[in-house]
């Protein structure tokens, strides 16, 4: 049965006696891929959610085709990488982005400003892990554990973002620098304000649902929380790309825009392709079949 969040409340274990595997799998369909892809196996650690999801992105470049999965094959690591899928694509993007930024920052003499990109990128890494943790959760247990993990990671990310903002502001005051004069600064402030709003609604909906008139009504906000969460991730990445065209980053740090842009694109592809359609209230393959022409009422 669909819940107020657009997510089925009880997903039977795949292949269990309770129900055939197909309907459960069909109710969890990622944006790119087939029903049942990118679902956290019952009993698996929430952290496994950082990586899973099949690589359905490149159906015409079957690097290795195994049991209906397209796998990356690096020597005998192919078997393991089969299960990693697009979660690992997002993580590769994160590594590319962070190594690029950190290498350029740390190869310069360290000053107060250095703390800003370092702290902001730590905040970004944690936020991405917090999204990846919740995406593949389907059973009530997984969802509850995932929500607490998500909230904890968001709290840690918040600390890193606050540190990054404090550092840049102190740096500006010390150097008498003008505020909000670049697109990076304008997007940065807008995105940070949205993040604060997202935090307030997310934390209160989870921990004080009575503020919204009860658990069900609070849960009905989750769908919008997901939409705005993905939008915020997009804005954060746009903000990082814009940082590369600020005079300081261009002339002193020398971080190339295309390298950062490419890494951000890889992150977006990895994260967005794992979006479970039904969690956003979108039509899935299964709802299409059930409600399609000729279906009974
Ligand atoms: C997504 C994370 C980031 C956010 C939300 C963010 C936010 C901000 C904000 C709000 C300011 C303006 C402060 C003011 O004008 O008073 C700023 C300034 C600055 N940031 Fe970031 N930042 C982020 C990541 C980065 C990264 C990764 C770099 C470097 C690679 C960077 C480089 C700069 C520079 C050079 C300034 C000073 C120039 C300016 O004001 O535009 N930022 N950032």
Is 37 part of a structural domain of the chain? no
Substitution candidate for ligand 1 out of 116, 161, 174 with most atoms within 8 A of CB:
116
Number of domains in the chain: 1
Task: Write out the residue range of the structural domain in which residue 220 sits.
Answer: 84-280
Is 198 part of a structural domain of the chain? yes
- Which ligand 1 atom is nearest residue 182's CA? 41
- Taking phi over 0 as left and psi of -120 to 50 as alpha, with beta for the rest, 197 belongs to alpha
For ligand 1, residues with CB inside 6 Å are 101, 116-117, 120-121, 124, 168-169, 172, 179-180, 182, 184-185, 188-189, 191-192, 236, 239-240, 243, 246, 248-249, 255
* pLDDT, position 51: 64
Spatial CA neighbour of 29 closest among 136, 150, 140, 134: 136
Residue 141 CA to its chain's centroid (Å): 20
Name the least confident of 43-47, 230-234, 276-280: 43-47
pTM of the shown model: 0.80
Angle between helix axes 115-134 and 86-106 (nearest 10 degrees) is 170
CA distance 170 to 163: 11
Is 94 part of a structural domain of the chain? yes
Q: What does residue 80 show for φ and ψ, rounded to 5 degrees?
A: -65, -40
Q: What does residue 64 show for φ and ψ, rounded to 5 degrees?
A: -150, 135
Is 165 part of a structural domain of the chain? yes
pLDDT above 70 coverage of the chain, percent: 69
Is 131 part of a structural domain of the chain? yes
pLDDT band at 53 (very low <50, low <70, confident <90, very high): low
Is 57 part of a structural domain of the chain? no
More confident residue, 257 or 277: 257
Is 294 part of a structural domain of the chain? no
> Is the pLDDT reported for residue 194 higher than 80?
yes
pLDDT above 90 coverage of the chain, percent: 55
> If you average pLDDT over residues 17-22, what whole number do you get?
36
More confident residue, 249 or 75: 249
**Which residues are CB-neighbours of 199 under 8 A, at least 6 positions away?**
154, 158
Q: Please report, for the domain that includes residue 272, its CATH number.
A: 1.20.120.1770
């Amino acid at each position: 049965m669909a819940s107020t969040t657009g997510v089925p409340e009880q997903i039977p274990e795949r292949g269990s006696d309770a129900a055939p595997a197909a309907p459960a799998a069909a109710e969890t369909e990622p944006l790119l891929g087939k029903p049942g892809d990118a679902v956290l196996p019952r009993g698996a650690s929430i952290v496994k959610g950082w990586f899973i999801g099949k690589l359905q992105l490149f159906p015409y470049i079957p690097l290795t085709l195994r049991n209906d999965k397209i796998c990356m094959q690096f020597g005998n690591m192919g078997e393991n990488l089969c299960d990693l899928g697009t979660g690992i694509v997002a993580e590769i993007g994160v590594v590319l982005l962070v190594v690029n930024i950190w290498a350029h920052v740390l190869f310069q003499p360290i000053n107060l400003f250095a703390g800003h990109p370092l702290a902001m990128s730590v905040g970004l890494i944690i936020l991405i892990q917090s999204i990846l943790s919740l995406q593949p959760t389907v059973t009530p247990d997984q969802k509850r554990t995932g929500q607490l993990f998500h909230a904890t990671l968001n709290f840690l990310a918040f600390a890193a973002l606050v540190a990054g903002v404090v550092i840049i502001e102190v740096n500006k005051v010390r150097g008498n620098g003008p505020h909000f004069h670049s697109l990076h600064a304008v997007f940065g402030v807008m995105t940070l304000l949205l993040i604060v709003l997202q935090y307030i609604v997310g934390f209160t909906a989870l921990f004080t649902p009575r503020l919204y008139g009860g658990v069900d009504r609070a849960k009905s906000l989750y769908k919008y929380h997901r939409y705005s969460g993905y939008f915020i991730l997009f804005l954060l990445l746009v903000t990082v790309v814009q940082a590369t065209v600020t005079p300081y980053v261009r002339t002193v740090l020398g971080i190339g825009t295309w390298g950062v842009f490419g890494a951000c694109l890889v992150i977006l592809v990895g994260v967005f392709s794992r979006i479970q359609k039904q969690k956003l209230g979108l039509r899935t393959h299964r709802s299409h079949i059930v409600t399609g022409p000729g279906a009974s009422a």
